[in-house]
Amino acid sequence: MSLSSSTEEETRFADQVESTLSATNQLLNSRTAPHYAAEVMSGIRAVSAQVSAGTTPCTGPTPESLHHEVSAIDLDHPLSSPADALAEVERVYLRDAVYFHDVKYAAHLNCPVAIPALVGEAVLSAVNTSMDTWDQSTAATHMEQHLIQWTAERLGLGDDADGVFTSGGSQSNLQALLMARNRLHARLRSAHPDRPPRLADVLGGFRIFASDVSHFSVQKSAAILGLGPEAVVVVPSDGQKRMDTDALEREVARCRQEGLLPMAVVGTAGTTDFGSFDPLVRLADICGVEDIWLHIDAAYGGGLITSQRHRHLLAGTGAADSVTIDFHKTFFQPVSSSAILVRDRAQLEHVTYYADYLNPPGGPPNQVDKSLQTTRRFDALKLWLTLRTMGADAVGALLDEVIELATGCAGSLGAMEDFDVVVRPAFSTVVFRYLPPGAPDETADRINQQIRSELFDSGEAIIGGTIVEGRHYLKFTLLNAETTMADVKEMIELIRQRGSHHLASEAMHHG
Ligand SMILES: Cc1ncc(COP(=O)(O)O)c(C=O)c1O
């Protein structure tokens, strides 16, 4: 071995030791705890500075420019200090992120986040509790259960209710439909004890009923559960975008006549686009008579359990077999935080499986027995701190404000002759389009899409969009109580300016 190669090797070894040491210093333990606090504080300060300085919901980046910037980063070569790494994150992420707390962010079902929940987020990820078993979570299991009982009680689900936190509304809906599927299969097996049918043999006949404005995760769940594309029977909604319950009854009867097996009805409490509430009491009656699993997707509307003024919109939920509630929509919680609740805790056994190493039967209360997940975050801590700091009434008051805002917004738009509003909002979304008198639908379709994407590109406002009866509409999803009617009017004016500009240039082009 030459002298020069040995020196190179020593240098490499020294570098390795150095990097091993610094890597160990990056693991949280009693020795590094002060360093941890300082580092996390610098991340928090970076966000705080960005939020303080921001005046628009976004800078309006393009996917191309961001892809270029991000993919140029060499992940094989770390930067020389945490400060440099954070500065890089400020440049590539924080600068061009979308800020849901901005008063002109009104696109999707994202909320500004409650500060107590952010404290919870910092605490839960540092302790890194995993909720699957009691021996990894101790008090956290009891805190989650306490919150589940609190939620179940407010939903009116009764003393036998139970549930578990999930990663989001889609997962909650999936778990609900999995339980409904397995209950129906179990019933078929008990009805035919001599020749109990295999799941695969009966699955093709299972049917789920959901309205034409229910969330697409119902279809996705059906596919995941092996039910096939025709398994979801789409029930029309009425003029207010609520499920037409007469049509539901007709569809259930038709399916039975055809030898199909009604598995579940999904009622929505707060539809994604319109915020409409299906007639939940009526759905409960129908499902009671027909003996069908009733799942209520209250991912959006569930927050109203905190509202003194609008809680009545959830009447009927207590009779459901299962309920989805998304804390990361209407409880001002950071992503993610949701729960699935059941009226009869025995139904959760449909997701109970044992692993010798994890949760042998007869042990302490292991939440994994109720969950589709194994390792699972202690998201409940965020809600815990929110309720213990702000209280449920304060959450409800924020929701009351956004409902008032949506009502005012729809009223203003309805009074303008160049705007068309689909329905009077029951909750906090407004679906509308720029449609000056005489403008053909095709022109309006084009212009409304242009308005939405131009507003995003300018960074001035971020608004939603959807399709209603084949036509392109715009949508305000209002979840920010800081947004005032003046902000909403400014957004309407931005829309009108861009719309009239495009209309005039189209007229010039064609004239
Ligand atoms: C009514 C409804 N259900 C379910 C979901 C899915 O929730 P998540 O995005 O948390 O999976 C949404 C999301 O917008 C929703 O509006």
Ligand 1 within 6 A of 379 CB? no
Q: Is 326 in the pocket of ligand 1 (CB under 6 A)?
A: yes
Class of domain 129-388: alpha beta
| Dist. CA 21–CA 31, nearest whole Å | 13
Tens of pLDDT along 100-118? 999 999 999 999 999 999 9
Is the Cα torsion angle 96, 102, 106, 110 positive or negative in sign?
positive
How many angstroms separate the CA atoms of 171 and 224, rounded? 11
CA of 71 to the centre of ligand 1 (A): 31
pLDDT in tens, 162-197: 999 999 999 999 999 999 999 999 999 999 999 999
Residue nearest to atom 15 of ligand 1 (CA): 272
Report pLDDT digits (tens) over 190-210. Answer: 999 999 999 999 999 999 999
How far does residue 300's CA lie from ligand 1's centre (Å)? 7
pLDDT category of residue 10 using cuts at 50, 70 and 90? low
Strand order of the β-sheet with 293-298 is 162-166, 338-342, 322-326, 293-298, 261-268, 206-211, 232-235
**Residue 419 forms beta bridges with which residues?**
434
Q: Is the CB of 299 under 6 A from ligand 1?
A: yes
For 76-91, what is the mean pLDDT?
96
pLDDT above 50: residue 212 = yes
Q: Which residue has the higher pLDDT, 362 or 425?
A: 425
Question: Which CATH code, of 3.40.50.12280, 3.90.1150.170, 3.10.105.10, 1.10.530.10, is assigned to 393-510?
Answer: 3.90.1150.170
Domain with CATH 3.40.640.10 in the chain: 129-388
Name every residue whose Cβ is closer than 8 Å to that of residue 455 and which is 6 or more positions away in sequence: 461, 462, 463, 494, 495, 498
CB-ligand 1 contact for 272 (6 Å cutoff): yes
pLDDT at 3: 45
CB atoms within 10 A of CB 39: 17
Ligand 1 midpoint to CA 216 (Å): 8
Using most ligand atoms within 8 A of CB, pick from 100, 110, 167, 170 the residue to mutate for ligand 1. Answer: 170
338 Cα nearest atom in ligand 1:
10
CB of 76 closer than 8 Å to CB of 35: no
Task: At 74, list the tokens.
Answer: 């060499």
With the most atoms of ligand 1 within 8 angstroms of its CB, the residue from 177, 212, 237, 300 to mutate is 300
State the closest ligand 1 atom to the C-alpha of 326, by its place in the atom list counted from 1: 10
Please compute the mean of the pLDDT values over residues 379-386 and round it to a whole number: 98
338 lines ligand 1 (CB under 6 A): yes
d(CA 347, ligand 1 centre) in Å: 22
Does residue 340's CB lie within 6 angstroms of at least one atom of ligand 1?
Answer: no
pLDDT tens by residue, 353-374: 999 899 888 889 999 999 999 9
Residue 160 has pLDDT above 60, yes or no: yes
Closest atom, ligand 1, to C-alpha of 168: 10
DSSP 358: T
The residue to which tokens 């009502």 are assigned: 407
Beta bridge partners of 7: none
Q: What's the average model confidence in pLDDT over 51-57?
A: 95
| Ligand 1 contact via 162 beta carbon (within 6 Å) | no
What value does the mean pLDDT take over residues 57-73? 97
Nearest CA to ligand 1 atom 7: 169
What pairing do the DSSP bridges indicate for beta strands 429-434 and 419-421?
antiparallel
The pLDDT confidence band at residue 507, using thresholds 50, 70 and 90, is confident
Structure-block tokens of residue 61: 């980046």
Minimum-distance ligand 1 atom for the alpha carbon of 171: 11
Is the C-beta atom of 170 inside 6 A of ligand 1? yes
H helix runs in 159-317, sequence order: 169-191, 199-202, 217-224, 245-257, 280-290
- 338-348 confidence digits (pLDDT tens): 999 999 999 99
Residue 24 has pLDDT above 90, yes or no: no
CA-335 nearest atom, ligand 1: 10
What residues have CB less than 8 Å from 211, skipping those under 6 apart? Answer: 234, 235, 236, 237, 241, 242, 243, 244, 267, 268, 271, 278
User: Ligand 1, from 224, 272, 273: best to mutate by most atoms within 8 Å of Cβ?
Assistant: 272
Task: Pick from 217, 322, 328, 336 the residue to mutate for probing ligand 1's pocket: most ligand atoms within 8 Å of its CB.
Answer: 217
- Ligand 1 centroid to residue 212 C-alpha, Å: 15
Where are the CATH 3.90.1150.170 domain residues in the chain?
393-510
Determine the pLDDT at residue 443. 95
Mean pLDDT of 304-333: 98
Atom number of ligand 1 nearest to Cα 271: 1
Minimal CA–CA distance to 369: which of 46, 118, 114, 132?
Answer: 132
Q: How many whole angstroms separate alpha carbon 259 and alpha carbon 511?
A: 59
The pLDDT-based confidence of 120 (bands split at 50, 70, 90) is very high
User: Which pLDDT score, from 0 to 100, does residue 20 have?
Assistant: 47
Which residue has the CA at smallest separation from atom 8 of ligand 1?
169
Pocket lining: 464 vs ligand 1, CB cutoff 6 Å: no
Residue owning the nearest CA to atom 6 of ligand 1: 169
Q: Is 217 in the pocket of ligand 1 (CB under 6 A)?
A: yes
pLDDT the model gives residue 17: 45
